[in-house]
Copies of this chain bind each other. A is one copy, B any other.
């Protein structure tokens, strides 16, 4: 029979790292070869631990997951790297995919699914959540097709973009309402719409997304 799948974890949160370790360590057919809190030594970790699959947290202090991914792929392209993240951030997905990620999962993925995903990636699949898959598809027409000038207002209406701009400036609902001479409830309505369209659920996410994809 074949050797167990060698799995390496990079996850800076000790709790999650521990629970992942337990999960993987207790699964037949898998061999946990390491569970590290950062990927500072990624260049030496890989040849030393020889993982088949790497679970890589995207948000880590020091060298982040995207950078770690790039380094792994640069030296050992055959190692499968599955990214773990809390948010389905468009920009991160793009970066990860471009850097050669083999999968992209949310941290809230249930344990059973996570194990499935490892099997899947070993079998040549690309585990990812539906929402992320959708984003990946949407990424396509962009780099593939010769795009023109300013677009990708993410179908935000003029008013919505305007208000998003104010959010980025740090305005509160109240300030926006006053500044634009409209009611507070109207501001709420617009922002609700913006959230829907950007697929976010808080001001910070909206601001972050706006700045990162230049919706300003």
Contact = CB atoms under 8 A, between A and B. Distances in A.
A199 B180 CA distance: 25
A181 interface: yes
List the number of copies, as a whole number.
Answer: 2
Contact of A202 (B89, B99, B142, B170): B170
Interface of A is mostly: helix
Interface residues of A, number: 65
A86 interface: yes
A33 interface: no
A158 B130 CA distance: 35
A25 interface: no
A165 to B, nearest CB: 7
B126 A130 contact: yes
Given A142-B98, A211-B212, A137 B126 contact: yes
Interface in A163-188: 165-172, 175, 179-181
Contacts of A142: 98, 100
A156 interface: no
Interface of A: 13-16, 59, 61, 70, 86-87, 89, 94-95, 97-102, 120-121, 123-131, 133-137, 139-145, 158, 162, 165-172, 175, 179-181, 199-200, 202-205, 207-208, 211-212
